[in-house]
Structure 1
Amino acid sequence: MRPDTTPGQRTRTGILHLTFEEKRGKTVLARDQQKAPLMIIRPFELPCGTLMVFVVNPTGGVLGGDHSEIVAEVGAGARVLILTQSATRLQPSPSGARATQDIRFRVASGGRLEYYPERTLPFAGSAFAQTVRADLEDGAELGLSETLASGRVHMGERLAFADYRSRVEVWNATTRLYLDHLKLEPGQHTRAPGVWGDLDYAASGVWVGSGSVQHWPALPGQLACGHTAGGAVWLRSASRRGPELDRALNAARESLRAQVFGAQPLQVRR
């Protein structure tokens, strides 16, 4: 799926292109291109050796017609964690123009990229579409998770957004390892059990690496994991409350990272 907002309808276009390499045993940001409203906070190394980068949008949120383009390339031996500084706030779109976001990841053999953005909050009347594609060489590692709220629940805006679409794909050469295609248009069927029901927060994730999972994180009625046909590890979770979902997701994520990557826990300082 390609976002259907044409260039003439776009209000702002943010660009972020990042290239990471391993030099003398450390991961460095070798090249970067930034165009407002997208930018990064200076990278710094975590105790485990992973280089962490915060993506920042200093404006009040994502407006209808906005377009964001994020590209990250990770070289052999590099270890990268990309986070967002705060929740992504999808603002109302009175004109109906859809905000769009394209994310592309390329990871070389022996490299690792992890992308764990903060929650997406679709305001009433917002419209949004994103595509995420990761292309991995043999021996590359990837971790990706996202969380979505049903709206500004405490403001009485549950399932009041106009449209939300997301397509996430992970490829190894010509083999697709993972596909998650989500389309939500609030209405009678969106509120049906099995889609949202009476839950307000949902999460999904995928991990690709050489390790095998022996101990699957699971919480009955809240969190489940498994393998795709391509061998990637998938995760699904849903909850009535955001903090409850975050705790379950963080615990599951660290368990899967340890098993799939053989990685030490992330110690993120905000």
Structure 2
Amino acid sequence: MTLGQRTRTGILHLRFENQRGKTVLTRDVQKAPLMVIRPFELPCGTLMVFVVNPTGGVLGGDHSEIVAEVGAGARALILTQSATRLQPSPSGAVATQDIRFTVAAGGRLEYYPERTLPFAGSAFYQTLRADLEDGAELGLTETLASGRVQMGERLAFADYRSRVELWRGEKRLYRDHVRLQPGEATRAPGTWGQWNYAASGVWVGGGVVEQWPALPGQLACGQTAGGAVWLRSAAERGPELDRALNTARESLRAQLFGARPLQVRR
């Protein structure tokens, strides 16, 4: 097997539990190239971990498996330390990532990774499934760049797919399936148009949204029949998208979770 044919399988299994009123990380199984930095407790009481890939990025054929379980009364926040860089795949091999979340009643899990950056010629398939008990809270976002724009690689990746599903028992609350294979269709207005960055998000909580975040032509929110609150946003520049997404996220967290703003130091 040549160096270009070798693949890696990263594994990360985490469990968060409430012990005497504090959230603690009770299970931490890691296999390179996935790892987490030690947990940090935020001022609001949420326990935060950063997922780290110390290599140069995700290579064609790589596979990652992330499993996180949150027990009753626990509050967990999972972030990534940096953007997910999808490296070119000359052989055409697809990199894959499977994410599975389970949240017990009264628990809360939030997953807000940094943006995914697909290099020219990369191929990546991701699946994310969350199973929630009644009374569980969940927040997710996903941010995708159209490529290394400053390097002239806009919409030059080979294939990108992402499927997100949220379930409560046998009831599906939300499903989002994205498949992008750059070509004339992805350059048409309404798909990417002039935008270089896009984001999506979904939240499930016990509160009611009375003030819906919105920016005409840039950000919109709504609610599924199952009660999940979804978000879509796009922008020409990354910082512009990040500002809009963070403002909307904190508004929805406050209304759905009754949560204080996240104060994260990197």
Give the counterpart of 1:249 among 242, 245, 251. 245
Report deviation, 1:84. 0.0
Report deviation, 1:211. 0.1
TM-score (norm 1): 0.96
Q: Residue 13 in 1 paired to residue 16 in 2?
A: no
Give the counterpart of 1:94 among 90, 97, 113. 90
Matches of 1:263 and 1:78 in 2, distance apart? 13
- Aligned partner letter, 2:260: Q
Name the count of aligned residue pairs: 262
SS in 1 for 2:37: strand
Give the counterpart of 1:214 among 207, 210, 217. 210
Report deviation, 1:110. 0.2
Q: Which runs of 5+ in 2 are unaligned?
A: none
- For 1:70-219, list aligned pairs within 5 A: 70-219=66-215
Question: C-alpha root-mean-square deviation of aligned residues, in Å?
Answer: 0.7
Matches of 1:32 and 1:128 in 2, distance apart? 26
Matches of 1:164 and 1:62 in 2, distance apart? 13
SS in 2 for 1:269: coil
2:24 alignment partner in structure 1: 28
Report deviation, 1:113. 0.0
**1:121–1:152 contact (8 Å) kept in structure 2:** yes
TM-score (norm 2): 0.98
Report deviation, 1:24. 0.6
Matches of 2:42 and 2:20 in 1, distance apart? 17
Matches of 2:99 and 2:15 in 1, distance apart? 14
Matches of 1:147 and 1:234 in 2, distance apart? 14
Matches of 1:177 and 1:202 in 2, distance apart? 22
Counting aligned pairs with the same residue, the percent is 85
- Aligned partner letter, 1:136: L
* Deviation digits for residues 19-71 of structure 1 (CA, Å, limit 9, x no counterpart): 11000100000011100000000001000000000000000000000000000
SS in 2 for 1:224: strand
Matches of 1:192 and 1:175 in 2, distance apart? 35
**1:10–1:67 contact (8 Å) kept in structure 2:** no
Matches of 2:112 and 2:180 in 1, distance apart? 21
**1:74–1:111 contact (8 Å) kept in structure 2:** yes
Report deviation, 1:108. 0.2
* Deviation digits for residues 191-247 of structure 1 (CA, Å, limit 9, x no counterpart): 111111111000000000000000000000000001011110000000000000000
Q: Which runs of 5+ in 1 are unaligned?
A: 1-8
1:42 alignment partner in structure 2: 38
1:68 alignment partner in structure 2: 64
- Aligned partner letter, 1:31: R
Report deviation, 1:10. 6.7
**1:53–1:81 contact (8 Å) kept in structure 2:** yes
SS in 2 for 1:226: strand
Matches of 2:248 and 2:30 in 1, distance apart? 33
Following superposition, which runs of at least 4 residues in structure 1 exceed 4 angstroms of deviation? Answer: none
Give the counterpart of 1:236 among 232, 243, 253. 232
